[in-house]
């Protein structure tokens, strides 16, 4: 288990998240993809705390708090979208433009 292998794994995870973000059309699925990407970023933080001694652990804790907040607000928005339109396809939210 080396730093290089860990970074490659995190990059792969992030790429999977990007794929999900670009192909999914349902709002909840987008939130899931964002979770995968945030997870990859956290993995890099922890990897650099183990190799090289960067202060990654407190950062991961703060990132966790931010992610939880994001999920709470995101799900509330999804609920609102569903209540207005009866579905959670993301293109229904285009009325939020401008």
Partner 1 sequence: MNGELGFGALAFVLVGFPALRVVSSRDLVRAVLWLAVTLLGTAVLYALLSAPFLAGVQVLTYVGGVVTLMVFGVMVTRKHAGNTVPVEAANRLRGALAALGFFAALAWAILRTDLSGFPPVSTPSTQELAQALLDRYLLPFEVASVLLLAAIVSAVVLARRRDPAPDPASPVERRGLGEGSTP
C-alpha 8: how far from chain center? 18
Contact 53, 3 (CB under 8 A): no
Smallest gap from residue 38 Cβ to partner 1 (A) = 10
Taking the least distance from each CB to partner 1, the nearer of 18 and 93 is: 18
Taking the least distance from each CB to partner 1, the nearer of 46 and 93 is: 46
Smallest gap from residue 98 Cβ to partner 1 (A) = 16
Smallest gap from residue 50 Cβ to partner 1 (A) = 4
63 closest CA partner among 87, 83, 84, 44: 44
For residue 26, the 8-state DSSP code is B
């Amino acid at each position: 288990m080396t730093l290089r292998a860990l970074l490659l794994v995190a990059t792969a995870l992030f790429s999977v998240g990007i794929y999900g973000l670009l192909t999914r059309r349902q709002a909840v699925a987008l939130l899931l993809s964002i979770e995968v990407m945030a997870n990859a970023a956290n993995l890099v933080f922890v990897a650099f705390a183990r190799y090289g001694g960067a202060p990654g652990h407190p950062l991961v804790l703060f990132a966790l708090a931010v992610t939880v907040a994001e999920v709470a607000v995101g799900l509330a928005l999804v609920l609102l979208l569903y209540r207005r339109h009866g579905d959670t396809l993301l293109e229904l939210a285009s009325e939020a433009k401008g």
